Amino acid sequence: MFSKILIANRGEIAVRIIRACREMGISTVAIYSEADKNAMHVQLADESYCVGGNRVSESYLNVPAILTVAIESGAQAIHPGYGLLSENAKFVSLCEQCNIKFIGPDSEMIKRLGDKDIARKTMRKAGVPVTPGCDVVEDVEQAKKEAERIGFPLLIKARSGGGGKGIRRVDFIEQFEDAFLSASSEAKSAFGDGACYLEKFIHPVKHIEMQLLCDQYDNIICLGERECSVQRKNQKMIEESPSPALDDKTRKNMMVAAIKAAKAVNYVNAGTVEFLLDRDNNFYFMEMNTRLQVEHGVTEMVTGLDIVQWQIRIAAGAKLTRTQDSIFTHGNVIECRINAENPLKGFRPSCGRIRRLHIPGGSFVRFDTAIYQDYFIPPYYDSMIGKLIVQARSRAEAIRKMKMALSELIIEGVDINRDILAEILSDEQFVSGEYTTDFMAEFEEKHNIQ
């Protein structure tokens, strides 16, 4: 087992990883930007080092500074959390060259699955259902021909995309060229790769993902699904498990497909296979995430397993001690992402000092966060400041418990999205469990949210 781990991240996920390490008796090294010098993860870690200026590019993506800190501090491994460098194959390769263990899959695996075009081809070959579409297109003219073959509506997707970037929906051929060039340009700017492919736009659909743990001895366990269909502009807002849409047969088939996907690439560590589910219970592979997911806490609560600790154990060479027949889920879990933003003003991000803070409590209520009273939320980073998670014996009880927990959550000094989350939980479509990825667009129109 590692004796010291560097956490190459910030905010609530850095705090989450530090706590997992401390439970395991592992020393931690935090990195921080100038804006984060008073951040909670800096205070909780055994050692903390400033790696640059306020902006992400100057600090949390400052690879030379991060690797220098890792080497000088004697860290044997780096946990990337999610986002930032978590799926950066070049960074992982540099860790390997420095003899520092990256807690996640190796660089070749990340590169292979990060290329959505290669991933689709691999899954098709393995017999995993893939959304109808085409492989990477060379130029606009070829893309137009493929688009007419596939039919509208369709999605233009960046080969190296993620986080909702490089995706455009096109309903008519007249819109296609502008949308294609826009998606390609956005992808080129965000990922350094403007290549795109096309997929049939399946509508309406649910977004469901399967959580896997895979060790280096060919053992794989699936920890069940998370429903992630409440999302705005491809950013998730609410997640739950189990999904109200899956019957036992579909769930089993989707789990088998997820395991098949991992076996097809000899995957190692925690990973998530994302699927689209249509109204006829047909599901299609969308992508495989080679990192810890933001919503991993949902699965932790419903299964009782600590995914972060298992990531660390697997990276250290340990075997999985659990088998598929020993994995059970308990009750229903719902997670709401708490963002510092104003939904009534176009979800405009909010920054400032927290003047008053009250975190909800009670049985089976969890709040993953890095904020504290008098903490100043800087303007340079993602607006998510916490994840409120509840567990109950039934879905109806979980919804009631989440609404109660939201009503207890007080964060004064910045705008937060608490009230709109409570309204979503009361919406008839959400309560019925029949909501799809169209839910937020319809919800905003119904409530006249601009």
Q: Would you please indicate which residues are annotated as catalytic (active-site) residues? A: 291
Distance CA 36, CA 377 (A): 9
- Angstrom distance (rounded) from CA 436 to CA 173: 26
Q: For residue 204, is the peptide bond before it cis, meaning its omega torsion is within 30 degrees of 0?
A: yes
DSSP state of 413: S
Q: Residue 145 carries which DSSP code?
A: H
Judged on CB neighbours under 10 Å (0-12, 13-18, 19+), 352 is middle
Handedness of CA 416, 418, 419, 420 (dihedral sign): positive
Which among 334, 130, 337, 131 has a CA at the least distance from the CA of 231? 337
| Rounded distance between C-alpha atoms, residue 257 and residue 182, angstroms | 33
Q: What is the DSSP letter of 152?
A: S
- Angle at which helix 63-73 crosses helix 89-97, to 10 degrees, equals 30
Which long-range CB contacts under 8 A does 36-43 form with residues at least 24 apart?
A: 36/10, 36/378, 38/375, 38/376, 39/10, 39/11, 39/14, 39/370, 39/375, 40/15, 40/370, 40/371, 40/372, 40/375, 41/7, 41/9, 41/10, 41/11, 41/14, 41/15, 41/370
Phi, psi angles (nearest 5°) of residue 164? 85, -5
